[in-house]
Structure 1
Amino acid sequence: MDNLDTDTYFEFKTYEEFRKERLKLNYENTLKLWYSLPNSLPINDSNRLRRQTRKQQRARFRKIRHYAVYAILPKKTFLKKKIQSKGLQLLNETFNMPAANEEFIYDIRQGMGRITTEFCNKGRQYDPTISSKELFKAGRCVWFMISFRMQCNLPLILVDSMLGYNMLYPYTDDLVDCNDISREAKADFAKLFHERLLIGEPTYDPQVHFDGKQSNVAELNLPSSLQAQAERIVKIFDMVKFIENDWRRGGEYEGVYMGLTTIHEGQTKSILQHARTEDNYAPTMAQIEQISAEKGGASLLAAGFLLEGRLTRAQVAYLEYLGFGLQLIDDLQDVKEDMKNNHRTIFTQTLIEGRTLDVPTARLIQYYSCTPAYEKFSDDNQRKVSYQETDITFAQYVRVLMIKFSVMLILEAASRLRRYYSKEFYRELSSLSPFTFHHLKLFRIEKTLWTIMQKQWFG
């Protein structure tokens, strides 16, 4: 493992140097760890994972159901604190979280709800045609950026760069993944967008502030292959303008734009994950693993730069680790769709090779069960949020909650894929869930939380 100085900034004069060093850190903190992990689930319970009996799982589900019914009914003001306190108890019990100050948890929920609502409102304000599905897709990373802002002691506000970054990828995904767009057009867009991210517009003026109104399509200078996609591309370029509102080019924050370029390269490279019947092309597992690690790590690396402007090598290592994990969760959630579309991920390739998903899922659980070398995004030794017996800091609590939430998403995704697991493994995996898999697969955790945050329920 790279012996990193937590005070050394990850900064380079050229993008080539940045990319070379970033790929080294990516491998050290993703695939090198991935290859070393056991092929079975953790044997012993820990602070991150604990096994449950079916009786315990059913009892917890009943508590959650009763609480949800009670909490959404109109209540007198003096009962709100009682409801919030009960909700906190259920949260701690469900996620096996350390005891924490109730006001602190309430502040987290209020902050996340406020930013989620503001994100949706501003997204629709910029693009009234955007669908709820696209907004949800755009907003999934917002929560992780909020958690990083908390760890960095940054104000819980929605800045322009958060809006721009998270709105970028519904637009770019639609273009890159669209089967109706020619390979020539995709190649032209990849080159054009690479230059737009890394270098900027020829007319870039740091004194100009983007007002959030859609730019004029007629002002785009696009090659003929991209003329039909002009309306999509103008939105993509506008998202970069939102980012430029917060981070001026040509100074100490060039890492922001180098980070954005890495995620674009990863997204472009992911085209190689599509198997093709017309020429019998199919990626190897080694290629798939490499692309997944690079793309996943890049997504949070870019997000981290957008929050801080500058990152240390230790922070980069941590974000690479987390990003790969989130990429694998996303791939596990999309197994059925990816199988239909002949898109090869670690999970679908495993199925294509005639094996169950037991091993990659066990490894993913192990990935989140181990402690990475640099398990923190920032130092926070002052803000205590728990009771005296646990003495946990603000940043530590947020990190633990983020990991527990990620593990819950793994379990939820697996609960819907029973046919792809051995009976023994599926049964053992289900014991790690706070609820029975029968109940868990009904939750739709992310979409349910998205609705709760938007509507400010249980407030």
Structure 2
Amino acid sequence: MINHAALYRKVQNQFIATWENCPEHFPAPKKRFSYFEKRIWESKFDRFMKYVQYEAKHEHPNKSEITQQCKLFFQEALAYSNEQLELIFSKNMTAATKDFIQQAWHFDPQLTNHEIFQALRNVWIMLGLQSFFGKEIVITPSLLAYSLLYPYTDNLMDDASVGKEEKLNFCKRFASRLDGKQVEAQTRTESRIYDLVAKIESEFDREIYPEVYLSLLAIHDAQTKRLALVSCKPRLSKKETFKICIEKGACSVIADGYLVLGNIDEKQLVFLYEYGAYLQILDDLQDARQDYLDGIMTCFSRKLPYENLDKILCKTYFLGKAFYESISNLYPNQLTFQGLVQKSFGLLFLASIFENQEDFSVDFVRKIEKHAPFRFSFLQKRKKELEPFRNLLLQKIEAYRLEACKV
């Protein structure tokens, strides 16, 4: 068994050092899209969106055809490879997603489709880790439980109507429950949270898998620390802010790894830490403006409105390059996964800039747009048309729930 705490600090310090050494100048991506190329990609986008809008009007959309059209769109319009598409749209991945939705609804019929959709992000990360580490792609009790903790605990911690003291009191009780102590729940939501901990305990004996519960305590501690980012005075230093920001994401994916594998080695911990930390950075980048309005001072939102995000976004880009190189060094045979991460993160990167253009200089946005497959003016006009696609996803969740009712 590895010394988790010591190795965690070592990896954390290395990751922070890499971030601090990342340059702030504009990168020089190799690929540029000409006006003609953009129009071709945009025509493919329009063709796909017309299909989505057509299906969205139907009470019972053709689910298999939707999947095929999505695969075609990812391949033709977003340039995903066949191997990457097989990983995303595999029958095992689809079946496990459906199983999660139905099990989640059976656990708590009061969960909304939006809350289940919120939980699916972690589900897909854990299913991806099962595939990455050669495990069976299946919904385990701990995968169900840990993924559902997100809509419960995150929404409670983000609820502006719940006072800081009340949140801290809940955090103390929750920590005791994660530590194996019996705790009396104060609300229905808290009772559901403790039921989810019991599900994890049904799969992982505390005596045999102590690191599993240490990892759960670590993500809980990181979540609690993020309260310090809320309008803190005096303001935390840049390094302290960055450390708190990445800790939640890193700890979350490390916990995912423990719940998939039971125990993890040093190489696995390094990969899981960097994967989770970078995911959190991209999240904070996307949410910078909303975090600022909510008084949450991440390493991105704290710069608003004093300066634009040009330089820190460049640092984020180069940190991503360092992460891809790390995956290549740790797991040289996982080329499909590495390419999938690079492609998906790149699209998230561009989406963050497009959605938050006011946070960057005009010149910076123009430079970035040259390397995007779509014109930003085109995306702006089509922005409202993306809503039917989200509605289709929610319809699919609802359909799975209705199937569960009949069982």
State the TM-score, normalized to the length of structure 2: 0.84
Q: Give the Cα separation in 1 of the matches to 2:256 and 2:388.
A: 23
Does the 8 Å CA contact 1:114/1:453 hold for their aligned counterparts?
A: no
User: Is residue 137 of structure 2 the alignment partner of residue 156 of structure 1?
Assistant: yes
Q: How does 1:114-129 map to 2 (within 5 A)?
A: 114-129=95-110
Q: Which amino acid aligns with 1:134?
A: E
- 1:259 alignment partner, one of 191, 215, 221: 215
Deviation per residue, 1:302-344 (Å, 9 max, x gap) = 1111111111111111111111111112112222321221111
Given the superposition, is the C-alpha separation of residues 246 and 65 from structure 1 closer, same or farther in structure 2, using an over 3 Å criterion? farther
Letter aligned with residue 341 of structure 2: M
Q: How big is the alpha-carbon RMSD for the aligned residues of Structure 1 and Structure 2?
A: 3.2
Structure 1 residue 370 and structure 2 residue 355: aligned? Answer: no
1:195 match: 176
- Residue of structure 1 in register with 2:12 after alignment: 26
| 5+ long unaligned stretches in structure 1 | 1-8, 13-17, 75-79, 203-219, 382-394
The residue aligned with 1:5 is none
- 8 Å contact kept, 2:114–2:394: no
Determine the structure 1 residue equivalent to 2:372: 433
Per the alignment, in what secondary structure is the counterpart of residue 5 of structure 2?
helix
- Report SS of the residue matched to 2:205: coil
Q: What is residue 391 of structure 1 aligned with on the other side?
A: none
Distance 2:134 2:393 in 1: 24
Whether contact under 8 Å (1:266, 1:295) holds in the other structure is: yes
1:51 shift after superposition: 2.5
Q: Which residue in the other structure is 2:74 paired with?
A: 91
Distance verdict in 2 for CA 1:447–1:329, change over 3 Å: farther
Q: Distance in 2 between matches of 1:268 and 1:445?
A: 36
Q: Where is the helix percentage greater, Structure 1 or Structure 2?
A: 2
Once residues 403 and 453 of structure 1 are traced to their aligned partners in structure 2, the CA distance between those partners, rounded to angstroms, is 28
Q: Which residue number corresponds to residue 65 of structure 1?
A: 46
User: In the aligned structure 1, how far is the partner of 2:203 from the partner of 2:268?
Assistant: 21
The whole-number CA distance in structure 2 between the counterparts of 1:378 and 1:160 is 29
- 1:351 matched to 2:293: no
How far did 1:415 drift?
Answer: 0.4
Quote how far apart the aligned CAs of 1:406 are.
1.9
Task: For residue 275 of structure 1, give the secondary structure of its aligned residue in structure 2.
Answer: coil
- With over 3 angstroms needed to count, the CA separation of the structure-2 counterparts of 1:101 and 1:400, relative to structure 1, is closer
Alignment check: 8 A CA contact 2:271 2:330 kept: no
How far the C-alpha of 1:450 sits from its partner, in A, is: 4.5
Aligned to 1:270: 226
From 358, 365, 370, the counterpart of 1:419: 358
Q: What residue number does 1:216 align with? A: none
When structure 1 is superposed on structure 2, of 403-412 and 174-183 the one drifting more is 174-183
Deviation at residue 125 of structure 1 after TM alignment:
1.7
Amino acid at match of 1:294: E
Correspondence for 1:283: 236
1:342 pairs, out of 289, 295, 301, with 295
- After superposition, the Cα gap between the structure-2 partners of 1:445 and 1:259, relative to the gap in structure 1 and judged at 3 Å, is farther
Alignment of 1:56-455 (within 5 A): 56-67=37-48, 69=50, 84=68, 88=71, 90-98=73-81, 100=83, 104=86, 108-197=89-178, 199-201=179-181, 221=184, 227=186, 230-251=187-208, 253-275=209-231, 280-352=233-305, 354-372=306-324, 374-375=326-327, 395-440=334-379, 442=383, 443=386, 447=390, 450-451=393-394, 454=397
SS in 2 for 1:25: helix
| Structure 2 unaligned spans of 5+ | 59-63, 400-407
Task: Indicate how the Cα distance of structure 1 residues 371 and 138 shifts in structure 2: closer, same or farther if over 3 A, else same.
Answer: closer
Cα distance in 2, alignment partners of residues 55 and 455 from structure 1:
40
Runs of 4+ deviating beyond 6 Å: 71-74
Residue 151 of structure 1 contacts residue 380 of structure 1 at CA under 8 Å; is this kept in 2?
no
Secondary structure, counterpart of 1:365 in structure 2: helix
Within 1, Cα distance between the matches of 2:300 and 2:150? Answer: 23
Which deviations, in whole Å up to 9, do the C-alpha atoms of 1:211-243 show, x marking residues without a partner? xxxxxxxxx535xxxx3xx21211111111222
Letter in 2 for 1:23: R
> Which deviates more, 35-44 or 417-426?
35-44
Which of 34, 38, 41 matches 2:23? 38
Q: State the secondary structure of the residue aligned to 1:370.
A: helix
One-letter identity of the residue aligned with 1:91: F
SS for the counterpart of 2:300 is helix
Q: 1:445 to 1:31 in 2, by over 3 A?
A: farther
Q: Say whether the 8 Å CA contact 2:38–2:375 is kept in structure 1.
A: yes
- Count, aligned residues: 387
Q: Please state how far the C-alpha of 1:68 moved relative to its aligned partner.
A: 5.0
- The 1-side partners of 2:51 and 2:166 are apart by 54
Deviation, structure 1 residue 133 = 2.3
